[in-house]
A and B are shown apart, each in its own frame.
Chain A
Amino acid sequence: LNAAPERAPRERVRFLPTPAPGGGGAVELVPARVPVLADHPLVRGPRFRKLKIGAGHRLDVKASGVFVLGIGHGNKLLTDLYNCHLTKVYTVGGLFGKATDDFSDTGNLIEKTTFDHITREKLERILAVIQGTNQKALLMYSNIDMKTQEAYELAVKGLIRPMGKSPPIITAVRCLQFALPEFQLEIHCLHETQQYLRKMVHEIGLELKSSAVCTQVRRIRDGVFTVDDALLRTQWNLQSIQEAIQNCQLKVETELEKTL
């Protein structure tokens, strides 16, 4: 970053004494633009010594996926994005037949159960119930008076959303793959943690009269940022970061205007 061409040094107008044309003796003051010495690169030093980087929604060690960072002045946009309360999308992979203490497959085994009675229809029924109860929670925590006409109109459009602190709410769940004993779900949620998603997998296992552990949690969308915008480990260089920032700027601005 420091090697990039820098801002031109500030200039100011100074009155410099120059010898007057013609006979010596009298010194005249002539205005001239002169670069300020304090701005000289050798005086000032490299422009960036530290960078302020802020993180968006947390992603814990065992999970993977899109992780939003803000650099410098972008940190202010981070708080605005947090207040937008946009949904995040995860793909969660699970395994039937085991129950562990931290709900993931690397924990201590608590119990093993049979799972051959589980079918895709039963799983989808449970997912429908989860969606239903979370829909109710969505309406309740959004703090809108249910008796008003605007509450009804927002509910019809599906725009009711908790705009403050709330417990984790799942707005939509879908089963992507089902091959006993493994299955994969796509979950759209708000205000959640990855451990909550693993607990959800465990509870799905309990509802189906068996047990389940979570093998994989991957965030594929965080508000406006999707996997396509994300940079891989190999792409962590200045050029791609700057391109990515420019691509996302427009999206972030439109989203903020729409919500606030």
Chain B
Amino acid sequence: RGLCVAAGPPNTRQLREAEEAAPVFQYAGKAARRKDRVFVWGFSFSGALGVPSFVKPDAGWKKPRRIQATPYRLETEEKISSAACGYGFTLLASNTRDITKVWGMGLNKDSQLGFQRSRRDQTKGYEYVLEPSPIPLPLEKPQQTRVLQVSCGRAHSLVLTDSEGVFTMGNNSYGQCGRKVVEDEIYSGSHLIHQLKEFDSRVVQVVCGQDHSLFRTKKGTVYACGWGADGQTGLGHYNITSVPTKLHGDIAGVNIIQVSSYGDCCLAVSDEGDVFGWGNSEYLQLASVTETTQVNVPRHLPFKIGKVKEAACGGTGNIVLTEEGNVFVWGYGILGKGPNLIETAVPEMIPPSLFGWSDFSPDIRVAHVRCGLSQFAALTNRGELFVWGKNLRGCLGTGRMEDQYFPWRVTVPGEVVDVACGVDHMVSMVRSF
């Protein structure tokens, strides 16, 4: 009768007041930090991805996932600063001063992940490690030493620390662990982790080839040990070496700033931007200087592509990155310039427009290049990851099972900081937005 008035549609003043009175939610405050995450993808049945439910499902509805085709987040306890993928196993290392600094997962038939005590039988070790498990290193000062870098080969792995030298574990049938070869040694379930300290200066980079190891010291010298039948030790002979020995040849006296290897060919970059190579050349990797298929002494590769900043070696193809941000590939296989380019002895440039460069965004540059056995990966300065090559068991992470003939973006929810490529899986360190 005049006491109750119908509400009616809210007029503008009521709307404005309701808006101002609404509560404000805060999702990210001033101290919100970007988190560091690890993403893995590829073949999972070896355990190399570190997700046990892919191999042994823990819930009834889960099915075993043989291949993880797109990036999958891996939960880690610490921030991972360095990762390396071997042939069916992975090592993750963190920069902390805590007691556990290195975790490993995947194949452990040659104790390349150290001794993982089995819970069922305390005397034996696990042959397949499905979850990132800590690797006990025999450190003298475990709460002060930091692990700088890890590297994995076919059946051995190297861990580089800042003050206690290099630790090697795994298969030593060719002396790749840096210790004397013992006849009929059983590597499975072995507790032995060898420590290498005798170099001319501190070791700053360790690289594993398939069955050999390379060490780069602060002074710019390179040491090698392991299998040498393809000349990949670069010591002038084709025998195995069980003690790290200094390399000479064209790199004697040159300050080397980066070494790289994954298969049987090795590349080194000097501080002046020159590239040196040695090892297997069956796939025209070193055909620009020699016709022989095995080169056992480091040779300078006279490429006129500009000052080289970074190089990466794969099984059959090589890739370098120059100071201007251009990417050059050569060798054999899917090199990244379409299906017609299968092999070349001279480096060919991949057009920057394939990495997202255009008139709209002219400041995109490739910042790092990495190589797996038959895949290549490139990281741009915007944090995008491009992959190409043979898509062996889904290792490219594109979501498709076909080979990729030119650089293709991998969708990762974050900015990719580093990536490690293996034979059939890849690990990337990513910062969230």
Taking beta carbons and an 8 Å cutoff, which residues of A are in contact with B? Answer: 97, 109, 111-114, 116-117, 122, 125-126, 128-129, 131-133, 135-136, 139, 146-149, 151-153, 155-158, 172, 174, 188, 207-210
Contact = CB atoms under 8 A, between A and B. Distances in A.
Say what secondary structure dominates the interface of chain B: loop
B288 interface: no
B411 A133 contact: yes
A112 B24 contact: yes
B94 to A, nearest CB: 25
B338 A152 contact: yes
B49 to A, nearest CB: 23
Contact of B339 (A128, A131, A135, A152): A152
A158 B358 contact: yes
Contact of B404 (A146, A149, A210): A146
Interface in B363-384: 382-384
A207 B413 CA distance: 10
B25 interface: yes
Interface string B395-407: 0000000111110
B26 interface: yes
B353 A158 contact: yes
Given A126-B433, A147-B403, A156-B351, A136 B28 contact: no
Contacts of B24: 97, 112-114
B30 interface: yes
A152 B411 CA distance: 20
Interface residues on B, range: 35 or more
A2 to B, nearest CB: 47
Interface of B: 18-19, 22-30, 32, 337-340, 351, 353-354, 356, 358, 360-361, 382-384, 402-406, 408-409, 411, 415, 433
A4 B129 CA distance: 88
A125 B416 CA distance: 12
Given A109-B18, A125-B415, A209-B32, 17 more contacts: A109-B19, A111-B22, A112-B22, A114-B27, A114-B29, A117-B29, A128-B382, A128-B384, A133-B409, A146-B402, A146-B405, A147-B339, A148-B338, A155-B353, A155-B406, A208-B433, A210-B27
Contacts of B27: 113-114, 209-210
Nearest to B398: A136
Nearest to B364: A128
A96 B329 CA distance: 45
Contacts of B411: 132-133, 136
Nearest to A188: B360
Contacts of B351: 156
Contacts of B353: 155-158
Contacts of B409: 132-133, 135-136
B361 to A, nearest CB: 8
A218 B221 CA distance: 61
Contacts, number: 94
Contacts of B384: 128, 132
26 contacts: A111-B22, A111-B25, A112-B19, A112-B23, A113-B24, A114-B26, A114-B29, A116-B30, A117-B29, A125-B415, A136-B409, A146-B405, A147-B339, A148-B338, A151-B338, A151-B406, A152-B337, A152-B339, A152-B406, A155-B354, A155-B406, A156-B351, A156-B406, A172-B360, A174-B360, A210-B28
Nearest to A114: B26
A121 to B, nearest CB: 10
Contacts of B22: 109, 111-112
Contact of B405 (A97, A117, A147, A174): A147
Contacts of A131: 356, 361
A149 B403 CA distance: 13
Nearest to A109: B19
Contacts of A207: 433
Nearest to B414: A129
Contacts of B383: 125, 128
A146 B334 CA distance: 13
Nearest to A126: B433
Contacts of B361: 131, 172
A257 B28 CA distance: 52
A160 to B, nearest CB: 11
A113 B356 contact: no
Contacts of A125: 382-383, 415, 433
Contacts of A112: 19, 22-25
Nearest to B27: A209
Nearest to B28: A209
Nearest to B23: A112
Contact of A156 (B26, B354, B433): B354
Contacts of B354: 155-156
A189 to B, nearest CB: 13
Contacts of B26: 113-114
Contacts of A111: 22, 25
A246 to B, nearest CB: 30
CB-based closest 5 A-B pairs: A152-B338, A209-B28, A209-B27, A149-B338, A112-B24
